[in-house]
Each structure stands twice: as C-alpha cells, then as structure tokens.
Structure 1
Amino acid sequence: MSDAARLLAEIHAARALVRDAATTAQPDHARLWAHATRAPDGPVDLATVRTIRGDPATARRYRTMLGALALAHAPLAAAASDGAILRRRVGAYALEILEAADGAPPLLVLRGESGQMPRVIEAWLGDETVRLDLGPAIEGAAVLALDPAVPDAALMGRMLRDPACAVFLL
C-alpha cells in the first residue's frame, strides 16, 4: 500500500471515530440549553437533535428545559379524545385551528388572557418536532397560516391535531 493510500485510509478511519464519538456522546447542559433557546429560523445542531430523538433520557432533559422556558406548555392535548383536536388550552392560552371554506390554508390562532404573548411555538409528537415563529400578537392574538405548501407549517398543523402532541409556548 502506498503512503498516500495509507494516509487516506487513516483519515477515513479517524473521521469515522470522530463521527461515532459525536453521535454517542450525551450533549452537555450548555448544548441542550442552546438548542432550547435557538431562534425558529436559526441553525440547528444536528448531533444534538439526533441525540434528543434517539435517547429518551436526553429528550426528557430537553423537554424539562423547554417547560422551564415556556410561558405555558401542555404535555398532551386531552386525556380523552375521539378525533382530531381543533381547539385546546395551553396554560393561560387558547390555541385554535380554523379551517377555511374557500380553499385558503388553515389558520392557527393563539389567544392569551395574560399580558405577555409567546413568540415561538414548539410541538412534539413521537420523535417529530417543529418550531415556528408566531410573530407579534395583534390585539391579544397571534395568527399563523398552516400552509400545506410550507413543510414546517403543514407538519405543525398535523401535529397539533393529534391528542398526543405536546406543545410549548415560548
């Protein structure tokens, strides 16, 4: 084997070791906190996401952080439900999905009884998660179009209709 081929093989083996170490290592508190406080449209640490999805203990730690940050959160939509959820309470906030009759995308409407309105919503269902910016509230309500042409918005709409979906309002 030539020196160049041996060097290439060693580099390849080293990359595999580093990649394995990164995926099996538990993210420290600072990495989970950075992930919990990230902007909805900001960069995502894929190693942290992979660990949260693959390790139930890390997912619990992350959800505990989200719960501490959240203005309100709900682990489940309803204890007893027989279909899709279109309205739910999340702490002091009412969350409703309004279906349009004229073919327009459904709307997510968030109304609050308290003075402070959340700016971000994160939903969890199984190992799927989605985080969206709610934008500024107008007259006590934040409105977000759940446009089927926008993958994250469509996923949010599907997830929020499921009774097992957890919601964090940040």
Structure 2
Amino acid sequence: MSDEARLLAEIHAARALMRASEPARDTSRRPGAAELWAHATREPGEPVDLALVRAIRADPATARRYRALLAGQAIAHAPLAAAASDGAVASRRVGPFTLGILPADEDAPPLLVLRGSAARPPRVIEAMLGDETVRLALPPPTDGVILVALDPDVPEAARLGEMLRDRSCAVFLL
C-alpha cells in the first residue's frame, strides 16, 4: 500500500471515529407544529422563545418546517429571489409585489417601497438570511404603496434593508 493510500485510509478511519463519538442529536426535542405555528404567526416585536429560535437555526429539518409554515401563510414569498440593482435603486419581485429600496439622502434614511396588486396588502415582512431573521410590521398602504423608513437608528429596519439587498435573502410577505 502506498503512503498516499495509507494516509487516505487513516483519514477515513479518523472521520468515522469522530462521527461515532459525536453526541447524537436529540430529535425528540424538536419543536412541534404548534410551537412553530405560534412563532410563525407572532406579531413583530413580541417576545420569542429563544430555545425555538436556536432550534430553527441549528436544525435544518426544523428550519425547513418553519419556512414551509411561513410560505403557507404568506401572501407572497421569494425563497431565494435574485436582487437587481442599477446602483441607485435596488429592487426585487416577490410574487405580485415589487420591493424597491430608495437610497438615503442627507435629509432622509433609505426607504423600502412595496407595490403590489394583491387583494389583501401584507401586514408583516419577514426576511431570512442564513440563520438570521428580521420581522417588521408594515403600515397600511397609501394609494397602493407601502413605505417603510429603513432608519439606521432602528436596528431591525436597518438590518432589513441590508438583508433585502443580498441575493440569497428569503422574503415572506404575511
């Protein structure tokens, strides 16, 4: 047996030992459907169950179930929508809605502009990027347009604007 083959065999054996010695994931403590539903239908700003958030972040199966619940109740969602930008305005399609971000100027913060033709306007926006989630309440539309100031002094709003500019950010309009 060559040195390379022996080294590969040792690496393979070491990986197998490491997998066997890892503590088994406790799947019996996965959040149930009721817990996930309560989290998915919560109002923005309400307290969250940190154990549930940790489970969504750490367990891919729980994260998939949570996203499926959000998608099921969403007016529109974009799991991995691609953002388009010409430098001045970032925009993306989310179902029948267009989300645009107008840049800040010296007097005003950036603005999230949400236009759509759905019969019922969304009340909440939730963005997911990696293991981070931001949820904001949306004001009622004015002439069919919802405007949200992405004020840097409001951490959730500022982070939402940053997340929406990322191509891999999932967006749920609830």
Q: Which TM-score bucket, shorter chain as reference?
A: 0.7 to 0.9
In the alignment, the residues of structure 2 paired with residue 162 and residue 129 of structure 1 have an alpha-carbon distance, to the nearest angstrom, of: 13
Gap change, CA 1:123 and 1:157, over 3 Å in 2: same
Q: Name the % identity.
A: 65
In the alignment, the residues of structure 2 paired with residue 56 and residue 151 of structure 1 have an alpha-carbon distance, to the nearest angstrom, of: 27
Counterpart residue identity of residue 76, structure 2: A
Report how far residue 99 of structure 1 moved: 0.9
In the alignment, the residues of structure 2 paired with residue 82 and residue 52 of structure 1 have an alpha-carbon distance, to the nearest angstrom, of: 34
Report how far residue 101 of structure 1 moved: 2.5
- Residue aligning to 1:167: 171
- Residue aligning to 1:30: 34
Measured against aligned partners, the alpha-carbon deviations of 1:118-163 in whole angstroms (never above 9, x if no partner) come to: 0000000000100000111111111111111111111101100000
Report how far residue 111 of structure 1 moved: 0.7
Is the contact between residue 23 and residue 50 of structure 1 (CA under 8 Å) also seen in structure 2? no
- Residue aligning to 1:45: 49
Is the contact between residue 112 and residue 150 of structure 2 (CA under 8 Å) also seen in structure 1? yes
Gap change, CA 1:40 and 1:50, over 3 Å in 2: same
Moved over 4 A (4+): 79-85
The alignment covers a number of residue pairs equal to 149
Q: Does 1:62 align with 2:45?
A: no
Report how far residue 84 of structure 1 moved: 10
In the alignment, the residues of structure 1 paired with residue 45 and residue 137 of structure 2 have an alpha-carbon distance, to the nearest angstrom, of: 8
Gap change, CA 1:96 and 1:33, over 3 Å in 2: same
Give the RMSD, CA atoms, in angstroms.
Answer: 2.4
In the alignment, the residues of structure 2 paired with residue 163 and residue 119 of structure 1 have an alpha-carbon distance, to the nearest angstrom, of: 23
In the alignment, the residues of structure 2 paired with residue 57 and residue 151 of structure 1 have an alpha-carbon distance, to the nearest angstrom, of: 29
Alignment of 1:80-119 (within 5 A): 86-119=90-123
In the alignment, the residues of structure 1 paired with residue 56 and residue 131 of structure 2 have an alpha-carbon distance, to the nearest angstrom, of: 9
In the alignment, the residues of structure 2 paired with residue 98 and residue 151 of structure 1 have an alpha-carbon distance, to the nearest angstrom, of: 18
Is the contact between residue 77 and residue 85 of structure 1 (CA under 8 Å) also seen in structure 2? no
Gaps of 5+ in 2: 1-25
Name the larger-Rg structure. 2
- Residue aligning to 1:137: 141
Gaps of 5+ in 1: 1-21
